[in-house]
Copies of this chain bind each other. A is one copy, B any other.
Amino acid sequence: MSTIEELARRVKDSSIRLAAVGTEAKNKALARIASSLIERKKEIIQANEEDLRRSKLENLPMPLLERLSFGAEAIADAADGINDLIKLEDPAGKTLLATELDDGLELYKVTCPIGVIGVIFESRPDALVQIATLCLKSGNGVLLKGGSEAMETNRILAEIIREAATKSGMPEHWAALLETRSDVNDMLKMDDYIDLIIPRGSNDFVRYIMDNSRIAVLGHADGICHCYVDENADLDMAVDIVTDSKTQYVAVCNAAETLLVHEKIAPRFLPELRKQLEKKNVEMLGCPRTRELISIDPATDDDWKTEYLDYKLSIKVVADLDEAIDHINRFGSGHTDSIITADKQVAVRFMDYVDSGNVFWNCSTRFSDGFRFGFGAEVGISTGKIHARGPVGLEGLVIYKYKLLGNGHIVEDYASHSKTFKHRKL
């Protein structure tokens, strides 16, 4: 039985070899993983039923049981996802820059896999399949750590994925599952082996990961998204966008949680909005000025920093654009914020000054999503400001290296001025 560190070291060693594997070979391995999942679905379902049975006995709450369930349909979806992933462009091996530094001395900046990705996820077994295959597509090794409730499902999924990939010629240890006995905290300390952590789970879970590791984390804890209805907004458009942002799907990070309304439009807008939101059973909480216009319960300062993930909206009337911007930058989570206005100058100022990964004009916050953005895959949504931000596609799993090709070139020739650099773009 290997120790966790040995496991991690083997994944790191394999990741070096995986990084050099070509696109076609990686895609073949992905195809084999997809077909293996289908072929071996009975084993998966059996393992999942065991997890479900045990978890029920342990009184796992219903929503968690639902997330844990991984039946025939979910397996087919996972395989479809892999087949879509195969069609996407390989993010590694792209030349970002090519410069002739001097005659015969050529510099290339080429994308390459990051190395080893640590993935930590709660219940959902589909997260394991999705992230492991995203890592393979981009050439990264992956250390997977799932929740104990999905132990059997994760084990069989990891086995199927590894076996299919290995039979297709991938380095044997490119992926490894950390068994549930091991602690998440062990993984958070492995900065010698893990280059990036991707957490998938509840806000509290993600925040814990972010607060307890020196390894870079790609993700988001809260999604406190705002709509700001400017004085020059089209009323109907504003009602539609706020309603969609709040209610189209309440349980997700890009749903709006707070509405800001310019004081000049508030008396006309808020009663209209209320009609619409009441139809959807949205509970509204307002600042004192809001409550002068529509009779709803009061919002406290805590509401401005709360992600309801529910049919609930906090509302604040603001004096002007700058107050809206300040509120968003103070209470927001840097996720997605949208302005509704007919005034272009105001919209541009909003998008320049709001310090969020996604700044929208006249459209729903719900659009911030890798698939809607056309990325074909989504590694996660990042509220960080380093490496990757907003919805992150496969490009978030690569970095680059500089390759310099010479013919005996030495620096002394340039230091002594017997040669000079040309820096010609290739």
Are B195 and A386 in contact (CB-based, < 8 A)?
A: yes
Please list 11 pairs of residues, one from A and one from B, whose beta carbons are closer than 8 Å in the complex, sorted by A's number: A16-B355, A101-B372, A195-B385, A213-B214, A241-B410, A244-B411, A357-B401, A363-B409, A364-B410, A373-B402, A391-B402
Which residues of B lie under 8 Å from residue A248 when comparing CB positions? 410-412, 415
Q: Which residue of B lies closest to A247 (CB)?
A: B412
Are B364 and A409 in contact (CB-based, < 8 A)?
A: yes
Which residues of B lie under 8 Å from residue A243 when comparing CB positions? 410
Assuming the contacts A19-B355, A101-B372, A386-B386, asked whether A360 and B240 have C-beta atoms less than 8 A apart, the reply is no
Are A404 and B363 in contact (CB-based, < 8 A)?
A: yes
Bound together, the chains give a CA A175 to CA B115 distance in angstroms of: 36
Bound together, the chains give a CA A170 to CA B386 distance in angstroms of: 24
Are A360 and B404 in contact (CB-based, < 8 A)?
A: yes
Interface residues as binary, A226-252 with B (CB distance below 8 Å gives 1, 0 otherwise): 000000001001001101100011000
- A-B contacts besides A358-B401, A363-B405, 8 pairs, CB < 8 Å: A19-B352, A19-B355, A20-B349, A211-B214, A357-B402, A362-B408, A363-B407, A366-B410
Which residues of B lie under 8 Å from residue A356 when comparing CB positions? 401
The smallest beta-carbon distance between A74 and chain B, in angstroms, is 20
Interface residues as binary, A385-406 with B (CB distance below 8 Å gives 1, 0 otherwise): 1110111000000011111111
Bound together, the chains give a CA A20 to CA B244 distance in angstroms of: 29
Please tell me if A63 contacts chain B, counting CB pairs below 8 Å: no
The 5 A-B pairs with the shortest beta carbon distances in the complex, nearest first, are: A363-B406, A244-B410, A374-B423, A366-B411, A387-B387
Most buried by B among A241, A367, A405: A367
Please tell me if A346 contacts chain B, counting CB pairs below 8 Å: no
Are B402 and A101 in contact (CB-based, < 8 A)?
A: no
Please tell me if A353 contacts chain B, counting CB pairs below 8 Å: yes
Please tell me if A306 contacts chain B, counting CB pairs below 8 Å: no
Please tell me if A76 contacts chain B, counting CB pairs below 8 Å: no
Residues of chain A from 191 to 217 with CB closer than 8 A to chain B in the complex: 195-196, 211, 213-214, 216
Which residues of B lie under 8 Å from residue A19 when comparing CB positions? 352-353, 355
Assuming the contacts A401-B358, A402-B368, A403-B360, asked whether A241 and B389 have C-beta atoms less than 8 A apart, the reply is no
Are B362 and A216 in contact (CB-based, < 8 A)?
A: no
Which residues of B lie under 8 Å from residue A399 when comparing CB positions? 385-387, 389
Please tell me if A55 contacts chain B, counting CB pairs below 8 Å: no
Please tell me if A107 contacts chain B, counting CB pairs below 8 Å: yes
Are B101 and A408 in contact (CB-based, < 8 A)?
A: no
Are B353 and A20 in contact (CB-based, < 8 A)?
A: yes
Are B389 and A351 in contact (CB-based, < 8 A)?
A: no
Interface residues as binary, A316-337 with B (CB distance below 8 Å gives 1, 0 otherwise): 0000000000000100000000
Which residues of B lie under 8 Å from residue A357 when comparing CB positions? 401-402
Are A406 and B374 in contact (CB-based, < 8 A)?
A: no
Assuming the contacts A16-B353, A386-B387, A409-B363, asked whether A101 and B374 have C-beta atoms less than 8 A apart, the reply is yes
Q: Which residue of B lies closest to A355 (CB)?
A: B16
Are A386 and B114 in contact (CB-based, < 8 A)?
A: yes
Bound together, the chains give a CA A196 to CA B389 distance in angstroms of: 14
Bound together, the chains give a CA A352 to CA B352 distance in angstroms of: 40
Bound together, the chains give a CA A213 to CA B214 distance in angstroms of: 7
The smallest beta-carbon distance between A389 and chain B, in angstroms, is 5
Are B115 and A411 in contact (CB-based, < 8 A)?
A: no
Which residues of B lie under 8 Å from residue A360 when comparing CB positions? 403-406
Which residues of B lie under 8 Å from residue A423 when comparing CB positions? 374
Assuming the contacts A16-B353, A240-B408, A410-B244, asked whether A101 and B362 have C-beta atoms less than 8 A apart, the reply is no
Q: Which residue of B lies closest to A398 (CB)?
A: B385
Which residues of B lie under 8 Å from residue A401 when comparing CB positions? 351, 356-359, 389-390
Are A372 and B411 in contact (CB-based, < 8 A)?
A: yes
Q: Which residue of B lies closest to A376 (CB)?
A: B423
Residues of chain A from 271 to 287 with CB closer than 8 A to chain B in the complex: none
Please tell me if A174 contacts chain B, counting CB pairs below 8 Å: no
Which residues of B lie under 8 Å from residue A17 when comparing CB positions? 353
Are B402 and A216 in contact (CB-based, < 8 A)?
A: no
The smallest beta-carbon distance between A334 and chain B, in angstroms, is 9
